[in-house]
Chain A
Amino acid sequence: MGLMTPDEVVQVIRSEFGEAVKASEVKGVETRMNVDRAKSYEILSRLKEMGFEYLNCLSAVDWIASGELEAVYNLSSLKEPTKALIRVRAPREDPVIRSVVALWSTADWHEREAYDLMGIRFDGHPDLRRILTSEDWVGHPLRKDYKDERLVPYEPF
């Protein structure tokens, strides 16, 4: 059975989760969706069932202007060229997003990195420790408002 087209993917997810899908867009073979964090795990789990068995990448983005942190999931299939990009946002005061380690083991290190550098806490992660910085590091270096006296801002000539 072939994988669905991006339009069908959007349709299925929208019909099943309704309000939880805040925005969607189809860009070539890629489905792009902004989803509510309360339903993010269920939606990603449904996408995995639909054939997106490969979690390429999990990135974290700091949208400081709107006071939010975002986790971006890049999914794809090893059978067809279809891709998906799912965005989940959480407020900076309470940056908790449900972990997807149960769905993809590769998310383990990606989530630890996102926690370490951006400070998103992944609820349900088996071992959410810092990964790239040392254990006693204070703060989350990739946040836009991170301050460190050793950090010299770049100024062009």
Chain B
Amino acid sequence: MIPPETEIIERTQETMEEMYVNMGPQHPSTHGVLRLMLRLDGEVVTEVTTYIGYLHRCHEKIGENRTYIQIIPYTDRLDYLASMYNNFGYVLAVERLMGLQVPERAEYMRVILAELQRIASHLIWMGTFGLDLGNFTIFMYCFREREKILDLFESVSGQRLNYAFYRIGGMPMDLPQTFLTDCKAFLEWFKPRLPEYDAVMTDNVIFQKRVQGLGKLDQKIAIDYAISGPMLRGSGMKWDLRRNDPYSIYDRFEFDIPVGTAGDVWDRYMVRRLEMAESVKIVEQALRDLPPGEIMGKVPKKLKPPVGDIYSRVESPRGELGFYIVSDGSEKPYRYKVRSPAFVNLSVLPEIGPGHLIADMVAILGSIDIVLGEVDR
């Protein structure tokens, strides 16, 4: 008979010596080039050290040498699973710095695309998280739906991954004629898919037992580490910048903010799972209210923001995406800094990782939802 887990852990602690295991940077479950150094006591992780920077591309230095408009395509490469949202955050920061007004229709377009992007990003997360835990079916399901969102984005911008579609002061071109019907058809098709994920993943008892109580993140620690996004909400904090520090036109939509209670992997999973349904609601409302009209505001040919600085933040699928821009009055930023949510969220791993088995580390890391392009910049 197999003894209970705690007993196994105790026994291994008695007989095994400490050892170090290097996880990554080529490990498939680290979602990119993240390297973790694990100190092990048998199967149990006692210490986690994180090494990042393998994907550092001097994003901020490049930004200082480009004009404000030229930076937009670079922001796509930060969080490449939510490119629309990076564009959104960046152009919003510059618009706030310059005090530019954005036409109504452009605002609605921004929200529609951004929320579709949130769904796509959460789908990728859900699929790869399932893959990490050995659930291959959900991976195929999620990628099938994401493909359809990418088709929509392709019809809008011509690109499938790095769109560079937002402009400072508005949007570069209007939605194609077929977009409204296509998008509505997608939403109608997508809504019944969510219960399918529940059948494959959420209601699966093996999955539930696997992730419940894993990687608990206390709310106090979460605030201390400035955790944001689904991770913070999973720890029971009802905090969403779309609601608490509204930007663009998010204050016009009705949507719920799902929160967890225990702050474990399961709660983070549920928050993201429920957020997809909320994003659907927002897109539906935005499609309903989408006004006709201009899509580009009055913007000077040469963008020269006034001398000053601004810290502007948005709620990206991963959390608080902030841009700190210092302008010296020229057409290039004097300093351009990205506060990426994944970078900050990952920093809490040494706090929540220890005490778990190596296989559970994979689940905990997956639940943080990192994109290394954004962590390393």
Tell me the residues in window 220-276 of chain B with beta carbons closer than 8 Å to chain A beta carbons.
Answer: 221, 223-226, 237, 239, 244-245
- Residue pair B343, A78 in contact (C-beta under 8 Å): no
- Residue pair B245, A56 in contact (C-beta under 8 Å): no
- Residue pair A104, B66 in contact (C-beta under 8 Å): no
Across the interface, name the chain A residue whose C-beta is closest to B57: A132
Q: Does B298 contact A (CB under 8 A)?
A: no
Across the interface, name the chain A residue whose C-beta is closest to B219: A78
Across the interface, name the chain B residue whose C-beta is closest to A146: B61
Q: How many residues of B contact A (CB 8 A)?
A: 36
- Residue pair B324, A109 in contact (C-beta under 8 Å): no
Among B60, B65, B226, B239, which residue has its beta carbon within 8 angstroms of that of A106? B226
Q: Does A55 contact B (CB under 8 A)?
A: yes
- Residue pair B52, A132 in contact (C-beta under 8 Å): yes
Across the interface, name the chain A residue whose C-beta is closest to B345: A106
A55 to B222, CA, bound (A): 11
User: What's the least CB distance linking B273 to chain A, in Å?
Assistant: 24
Q: Does A59 contact B (CB under 8 A)?
A: yes
A74-B322, A132-B376 known; A85 vs B58 contact (CB < 8 Å)? no
- Residue pair B53, A109 in contact (C-beta under 8 Å): no
- Residue pair A131, B322 in contact (C-beta under 8 Å): no
A78-B223, A81-B245, A154-B66 known; A56 vs B237 contact (CB < 8 Å)? no
A85 to B312, CA, bound (A): 12
| Chain A residues whose C-beta falls within 8 Å of the C-beta of B320 in the assembled complex | 56
- Residue pair B313, A142 in contact (C-beta under 8 Å): no
- Residue pair A105, B224 in contact (C-beta under 8 Å): yes
Q: Does A53 contact B (CB under 8 A)?
A: yes
| Chain B residues whose C-beta falls within 8 Å of the C-beta of A156 in the assembled complex | 67
A132 to B54, CA, bound (A): 7
- Residue pair B226, A55 in contact (C-beta under 8 Å): yes
A37 to B66, CA, bound (A): 32
A59-B335, A106-B226 known; A142 vs B61 contact (CB < 8 Å)? yes
A78-B239, A109-B344 known; A56 vs B226 contact (CB < 8 Å)? yes
**A–B pairs, 10, beta carbons within 8 Å:** A56-B226, A56-B320, A57-B324, A57-B339, A61-B334, A81-B244, A105-B224, A105-B347, A132-B53, A142-B61
Given contacts A54-B223, A54-B226, A106-B226, 7 further A-B contacts (CB under 8 A): A59-B337, A74-B311, A74-B324, A78-B239, A106-B344, A130-B53, A133-B53
Please report A residues at the B interface, Cβ cutoff 8 Å: 53-57, 59, 61-62, 72, 74, 78, 81, 83, 85, 104-106, 108-110, 117, 130-134, 141-142, 151, 153-154, 156
